[in-house]
Chain A
Amino acid sequence: MRSHPMKADDGSLAMRDVFISETSALLDDDPRLALVLADISAGEGRFQQAAADHPDRVINVGIREQLMVGVAGGLALSGLRPVVHSYAPFLVERAFEQVKLDLGHQGAGAILASVGASYDWAEGGYTHFSPRDVALLDSIPGWTVHVPGHPAEVAAPLRAAAAGDHAEYLRLSLRRNAEAHATSDGRLAVLRRGSDATVVAVGPMLDNTLAAVADLDVTVAYASTVRPFDTRTLRDLGNDTIVLVEPYLAGTSDWLINRDLSDRPHRLLSLGVARTDLHRFGTADDHDHWHGLDSEGIRASVEKFLGR
């Protein structure tokens, strides 16, 4: 059992810690930035100090997610740059019509920053799982989506997003790789080259993927920005046997890859979180295993796909 459901086991800085310190610093520096919360992360050691420092621009609406997103839309219409933060299922799913209508349809942008990801707080069960967030945002136009795989990959996209006006989603997780690999321009980072397949791991899926294919003759590329998806580099890598390992719903990015490779015969294996409601708790590692996303599961799927 962890000491706190949303803190890293080893006491190191989690993505959320970086998000909070960076956003607090941005609030100090940029009078255009505003933060909207629905109680999550509002307390001591989180955004309490920023709220005291900037009472007009740090807005905690209470446990009211429809209002949280609607307020963000109004802030943007008034000329501010809103950051909206909560647990992923409450930020993206619960108020999805507000995301659709109060932001994009109004011509307004915002930065949505979620925590919890697909099953970070495994003890909390299905109510707190959000494997479908990226697929949902994919159903409406204009969203840039960042899926950092390491706490050191949070600040750069957050700061770039804060300086802009567009709709940006930052999917923060307790799941992380040992090292940061994100590129500064949203392109794929090519980590290894091989000839039997190109394997693209998204965000926190990288380390399990690297372990799974360690002795295989495959290219491994890493994506931490998935919308837009860097299919240009994927094409340039030249291999038409492709494996995609995503930390959210399996198949979320299939449509983009198939669209952008439609002129080339290709095979695509898409790994990710299944649509099943397991009604189980345990740990996030357990859920990786149940969804075939631990290194053994990824290995087995890739071997079968490559005909081994």
Chain B
Amino acid sequence: MTATATFDDALRLARRTVVDPRYPINTYTLDALWVLYDRVLRVDPRRPDDPERDRFLLSKGHGPGSYFAVLAAKGFIPADWLDAVAAADSPLGAHPDRTRVPGVEVSAGSLGHGLPLGIGTALGLRAQGLDRPRVYVLLGDAEFDEGSNHEALAYAGATRLSTLTAVVVDNASATHGWPGGIASRFTAQGWTAATVEATDHDALYRALTSHTGAAPHAVIATSH
């Protein structure tokens, strides 16, 4: 696939990857991933290790079919990898492994690891004078239960880590919910936040590009 791939191409690719019926392809994740890779992230499959690239960290590693599909649509991995997910010799599993898959920034699976890793990445880039790259971390609303996220968002807000964007795809799957909305947890800690419909690509794009440069930014993509 190439830069001319469309969202529908990515959706078709994603459907080839389903290995675990508990995690079918949910377009609420594919929508956000597509908008990120198609319109927001400065990444290039020809230079996956470019120090100046934006970093995208899929924290919510479950059911990564949408992620692998977008990586294939954008040329990071061959599309035929999608037909053998989790096979013995496949680099693709039911969770992404950064040591096996080009373009994957972090290995995921256990929840609540992406935001702290993203903060460390953002701090490390800044310490090396790499001011241009932005760090994006995608989480789920149920993953947001994990306490490590709350350590991370309090710290990032207090230190105004403005090169960081958290994207929370919220399909109301958290057992005890987030009364008042997930965005309020971020804004209470000094982040800017925008809440949009998970399937509205233009709204996602505007939200994903509305950071101020003065604070970390959160985008809540809701599908409920």
Residues of A within 8 A of B (CB): 31, 34, 36, 56-57, 59, 61-62, 64, 66-67, 69-80, 82, 97-98, 101-102, 105-107
Whether B121 pairs with A102 at a CB distance below 8 angstroms is: no
Contact of A67 with B152 at beta-carbon distance under 8 Å, contacts A72-B120, A79-B51 already known: yes
| Residues 154-171 of B at the A interface (beta carbon under 8 Å) | 154-155
B2 within 8 A of A: no
Task: Judge if B221 is at the interface, Cβ distance under 8 Å.
Answer: no
A78 touches which of B110, B120, B152, B154 (Cβ 8 Å)? B120
Q: In the complex, identify which listed stretch (B21-29, B98-106, B185-193) lies at the interface while the others stay far away.
A: B98-106
Q: Do residues A67 and B151 form an inter-chain contact, with CB atoms below 8 A?
A: yes
Query: Is the CB–CB distance between B155 and A70 below 8 Å?
Result: no
Query: With A and B bound together, what is the CA distance between A82 and B120 in angstroms?
Result: 10
Name the A residues within 8 Å of B130 (CB-CB). 78
Min Cβ gap B162→A in Å is 14
* A75–B120 touching, CB < 8 Å: yes
What is the CB-to-nearest-CB distance from B88 to chain A, in angstroms, rounded to a whole number? 20
A-B contacts, 27 listed (Cβ < 8 Å): A34-B123, A56-B127, A57-B127, A59-B123, A61-B155, A62-B154, A64-B151, A64-B154, A67-B116, A67-B148, A70-B116, A70-B152, A71-B119, A71-B120, A74-B122, A74-B124, A75-B120, A75-B124, A77-B120, A78-B130, A80-B124, A97-B110, A98-B116, A101-B113, A106-B99, A106-B117, A107-B98
Contacts of A102 in B (CB 8 A): 113, 116-117
Interface membership of B175, Cβ < 8 A: no
12 more CB-based (< 8 A) A-B contacts, given A78-B127, A78-B128, A78-B130: A62-B155, A67-B119, A67-B152, A69-B116, A70-B119, A71-B120, A74-B117, A77-B117, A101-B110, A102-B117, A106-B98, A106-B107
For residue B180, CB closer than 8 A to chain A, the reply is no
Select one of B115, B116, B119, B124 contacting A79, CB under 8 A. Answer: B124
For B108, the closest partner residue in chain A by CB is A101
CB distance from B199 to the nearest CB of A (A): 31
Whether a CB of chain A sits under 8 angstroms from the CB of B203 is: no
Cβ contact within 8 Å between B110 and A70: no
Across-interface contacts of B196 in A (CB, < 8 A): none
Contact of A106 among B106, B125, B148 (CB under 8 A): B106
Complex contact B124–A77 (CB within 8 A):
yes
**Contact of A71 with B123 at beta-carbon distance under 8 Å, contacts A77-B117, A80-B128, A98-B113 already known:** yes
Q: Smallest CB–CB gap between A101 and chain B, Å?
A: 6
Closest chain-B Cβ to A28's Cβ sits at a distance in Å of 14
Structural contact, B107 and A105, CB atoms closer than 8 A: yes
Q: Does B126 contact A (CB under 8 A)?
A: yes
Contact of B127 (CB < 8 Å), options: A34, A73, A77, A97: A34
Query: What total of A-B pairs shows CB separation below 8 Å?
Result: 101
Q: Which residues B90-146 have CB closer than 8 A to chain A?
A: 98-99, 105-107, 110, 112-113, 115-128, 130
Q: Does B147 contact A (CB under 8 A)?
A: yes
Report how far A106 CA is from B96 CA in the complex, Å: 11
Bound state CA distance, A72 and B127, in angstroms? 13
Output the residue of B51, B117, B118, B126 with the most chain A CB within 10 A.
Answer: B117
Determine if A74 and B123 form an interchain contact, defined as CB atoms under 8 angstroms apart: yes
Neighbouring A residues of B118 by C-beta, 8 Å: 74
Interface residues of B in 59-105 (CB under 8 A from A): 98-99, 105
Top 8 nearest A-B pairs (CB, nearest first) are A74-B120, A70-B116, A78-B124, A71-B120, A64-B151, A74-B121, A56-B127, A67-B151
**A56 pairs with B123, CB closer than 8 A:** yes
Q: Is the CB of B107 within 8 A of A73?
A: no
Please name all residues of chain A whose beta carbon is closer than 8 Å to the beta carbon of B115 when the two chains form the complex: 70
Residue of B nearest to A80 (CB): B124
Docked complex Cα distance between A83 and B74 (Å) = 36
> Which residue of A34, A56, A70 contacts B117 across the interface (Cβ within 8 Å)?
A70
Cβ A79 vs Cβ B128 within 8 A: yes
Closest to B158 in A: A62
Shortest Cβ distance from residue B202 to the other chain A in the assembled complex, whole angstroms: 31
Nearest B residue to A34, CB-CB: B127
Cα separation A61 to B120 with both chains bound (whole Å): 11
Beta-carbon contact of B116 and A74 below 8 Å: yes
| Complexed CA–CA distance, A31 and B112 (Å) | 30
- Contact residues in A for B120 (Cβ distance below 8 Å): 36, 70-78, 82
Which residues of B have CB within 8 Å of A64?
151, 154-155
